[in-house]
Amino acid sequence: MHLKLLAKRIFFPGLDLHTRCRFRFLPELFRTGRLRTLDAGSGNGALSYAAFRRGSRVLGVSFSAKEVADTNVLFRAMGIAPADVEFRQMNIYDLNSLEDTFDQIICSETLEHIKRDGEVVQMFAKLLRPGGRLILCCPHALHPEHALGRTDEPETGYHVRDGYSIESYHALLDSSGLVITTVLGLGSPLLCNLDKFLREVRLRVGDLGAFPIFLLLLPLVLFDYRNPKMPFSLAVVAEKA
């Protein structure tokens, strides 16, 4: 096996500490059992893998062809069959073309990049089976690192808005018939400071050079906790009647 691929397997889901935080805590919101799950904005597949571990057959979709190709290679190397976890390149606005419905939909750190977020949520509601669950996680709009006044930026891959608050989540989801049942705050001040420091090191010396620092910081991540006073990200579970 290629050395880089082996390293990805060993240190999955990677060096990003906020990704590792979501990988640690968000799956607590997932349902278990032989379910059908959509991961909309699947990234490196961390949450798809977490859903698979809980019994789901998962379809992950991403706009990035390279991301999809790399993640498919990684999951096949991990011995996970396409029938269990499959990744496809797809624009999130094209979800209505899927000839499938889902027991749960995961959408993490994606909707803040999408201008027509209401349209996407309507598609989620349509794709969910009765009683289905949407697990939605986005930047907390009130966190100082996000509260920059962005409300309607161009859709270029960066954030088009600062994120969401509980109030804006309700405004987005209630009209789609999705009822918020759970709220979870992620990203304590400790995690944010560790991640900021690691990102600066990675920018200066690259991932390989930053790897020893990552290993030193990793045990400290265990002291991260749920629902800090000012979370970095805000997750909700919204269920379809």
- The model's pLDDT over 32-63, given as tens digits with 9 standing for 90+, comes to 999 999 999 999 999 999 999 999 999 999 99
Beta-sheet pairing, 178-186 with 57-62: unpaired
Judge whether residue 7 has pLDDT over 80: no
Stretch 83-104: mean pLDDT? 96
Region 124-148: what's the mean pLDDT? Answer: 97
What is the percent of the chain with per-residue pLDDT over 70, rounded to a whole number? Answer: 99
CB 238 within 8 A of CB 178: yes
Q: What is the mean pLDDT of residues 97-125?
A: 97
Q: Which domains does the chain have, with CATH numbers?
A: 3-187+228-240 (3.40.50.150)
- Once rounded to an integer, what is the mean pLDDT over residues 131-159? 96
Structure tokens at 42: 């699947």
For 33, what's the count of Cα atoms within 13 Å in the CB-facing half-sphere? 5
